[in-house]
């Protein structure tokens, strides 16, 4: 077998490994480590080069994709482009024409009908920057301190950032003269709560319904009930906010909350509205987690597809819904576990 044919086979193997890594949400190194039989040396070198230069590669592809985002590209096209860009960066001994021809051939063979043309055009533009081939060469952007494994982060509010004061409700119920647990039970009655979080019931109307029910059942003063529910107390987890601020230096962060029409008011009162690049409330979009449309709306709010985002929530059903929508999703257990997750995604140090 000639050197050219050996490398052609190695590139095909590397492309398969990179595609597998993306499908699993893993690094190339992790996929290599799990192989029962080691891959060809050149295939390994290409996979490792993608890991090493991932941030720079993605920045270049995003900059020169002309109307496309990385998230919108076909997964195999994305893998081929990353591999080709990595070879341009890490293997100056391989002629540019060879890298382009081999990468385009693989994309044409294994991806969509238009993939060859798309990969050829974009990779040629990247080659001009990386190799200075032809006109238009320019200096590479500096290597970023962190190379994120996702393009965006979507995070829940209640139970993650905001924590309700459970001691408040017994106090409020005693003041209203209603049995312990009654206020919360009436407010969070499933059908009523569903209408409050999908926007069919405004926050004000929600308070009125709660007041009506407690007035009829227990003779509670309606105005006092409205005030009691509206004045619910909470605290903000500052440790989580600090992590989000650090992550926002690398990727956009969206808040996705199953919340009433008072969500923005609550965020303003808590002085955390500016902690996010986008805020998506279920009552505002008319659909709540775990409906896939909620996750798509949150990703779109930061200009991404769900597949490009990581998601964190304290409710297992919502985490599963995010995974079904294509997001990498993890259950929130606590601040320390969140930091571990964000470190793995290379969003914080």
| pLDDT score at 142 | 46
- Which are the contacts of 18, defined by CB distance < 8 A and separation ≥ 6? 28, 47, 50, 79, 82, 83
Q: What is the mean pLDDT of residues 324-339?
A: 94
Contact 236, 162 (CB under 8 A): yes
Q: Provide the pLDDT for residue 152.
A: 92
How confident is the model over 265-288, as pLDDT tens digits? 999 999 999 999 999 999 999 999
**Ranges 8-12, 46-50, 95-99, 205-209: which has the least confidence:** 95-99
Residue with more model confidence, 88 or 145: 88
No. of H helices and E strands in the chain?
Answer: 18, 7
The Cα 218–Cα 212 span in angstroms is 10
The token duo for 297 is 């709306």
> Is residue 147 very low, low, confident or very high in pLDDT (cuts 50, 70, 90)?
low
From residue 264, alpha-carbon distances to 63, 120, 193, 244, 288 in Å are 33, 46, 18, 18, 16
Supply the pLDDT for residue 250: 86
Label residue 333 by pLDDT band (50, 70, 90).
Answer: very high
3-131: CATH architecture: Orthogonal Bundle (1.10)
Each residue's pLDDT tens digit, 188-229: 999 999 999 999 999 999 999 999 999 999 999 999 999 999
How many other C-beta atoms can be found within 10 angstroms of the C-beta atom of residue 216?
A: 10
Determine the Cα–Cα distance for residues 186 and 294; give it in Å rounded to an integer. Answer: 26
| Annotated domain spans of the chain | 3-131, 152-162+235-344, 166-232
pLDDT at 255 over 70: yes
Q: What is the pLDDT of residue 149?
A: 85
pLDDT at residue 133, as a whole number: 53
Q: Given a cut of 80, is residue 9 above it in pLDDT?
A: yes
For the chain, the average pLDDT equals 91
Q: What does the pLDDT look like over 50-70, one tens digit per residue?
A: 999 999 999 999 999 877 788
Kindly provide the b/e burial profile for residues 242-256, where b requires at least 16 CB atoms within 10 angstroms of the residue's own CB.
Answer: ebbeebeebbbbbbb
Which pLDDT does position 116 carry in this prediction? 85
Q: Is the pTM of this model over 0.75?
A: no
pLDDT digits (tens, 9 = 90+) for 174-196: 999 999 999 999 999 999 999 99
* Contact (CB, 8 A) for 268 and 292: no
Say yes or no to pLDDT of 143 above 50. Answer: no
| The predicted structure's pLDDT at residue 141 | 45
Residues 294, 255: Cα–Cα separation, whole Å: 11
Residue-wise pLDDT tens digits, 114-139? 788 889 889 999 998 888 754 334 44
Region 156-181 average pLDDT: 96
Is the pLDDT assigned to residue 94 strictly greater than 50? yes
Q: Say how far apart CA 59 and CA 54 lie, in whole Å.
A: 8
Residue 216 to residues 186, 194, 219, 221, 226: CA-CA distances in angstroms?
Answer: 12, 22, 6, 10, 14
pLDDT for residue 140 = 44
pLDDT value of position 15: 94
Q: What is the DSSP string of 15-35?
A: HHHHHHHHHHT--HHHHHHT-
CATH number of 152-162+235-344: 3.40.50.1000
């Amino acid at each position: 077998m000639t050197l050219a044919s050996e490398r052609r086979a190695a590139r095909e193997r590397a492309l398969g490994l990179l595609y597998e890594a993306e499908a699993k949400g893993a690094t190339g190194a992790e996929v290599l480590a799990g192989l029962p039989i080691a891959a060809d040396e050149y295939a390994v070198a290409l996979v490792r080069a993608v890991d090493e230069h991932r941030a720079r590669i993605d920045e270049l592809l995003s900059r020169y994709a002309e109307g496309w985002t990385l998230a919108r590209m076909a997964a195999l096209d994305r893998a081929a482009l990353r591999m080709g860009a990595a070879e341009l960066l890490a293997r100056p001994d391989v002629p540019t024409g060879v890298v382009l021809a081999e990468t385009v051939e693989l994309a044409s063979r294994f991806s969509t009908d238009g993939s060859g043309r798309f990969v050829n055009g974009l990779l040629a533009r990247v080659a001009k920057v990386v190799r200075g081939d032809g006109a238009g060469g320019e200096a590479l952007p500096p290597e970023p301190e962190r190379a994120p494994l996702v393009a965006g982060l979507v995070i829940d509010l209640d139970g993650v950032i905001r924590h309700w004061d459970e001691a408040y409700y017994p106090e409020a119920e005693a003041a209203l003269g209603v049995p312990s647990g009654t206020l919360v039970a009436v407010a969070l009655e499933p059908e009523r709560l569903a209408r409050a979080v999908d926007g069919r019931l405004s926050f004000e109307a929600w308070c009125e319904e709660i007041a009506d029910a407690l007035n009829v059942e227990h003779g509670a003063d309606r105005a006092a009930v409205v005030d009691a529910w509206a004045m619910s107390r909470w605290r903000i987890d500052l440790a989580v906010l600090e992590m989000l601020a650090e992550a926002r230096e690398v990727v956009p962060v969206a808040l996705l909350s199953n919340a009433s029409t008072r969500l923005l008011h609550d965020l303003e009162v808590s002085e955390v509205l500016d902690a996010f690049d986008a805020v998506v409330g279920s009552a505002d979009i008319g659909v709540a987690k775990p409906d896939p449309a909620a996750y798509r709306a949150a990703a779109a709010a930061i200009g991404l597809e769900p597949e490009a985002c990581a998601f964190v929530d304290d409710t297992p059903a919502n985490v599963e819904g995010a995974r079904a929508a294509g997001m990498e999703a993890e259950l929130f257990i606590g601040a320390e576990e969140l930091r571990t997750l964000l470190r793995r995604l290379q969003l914080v140090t």
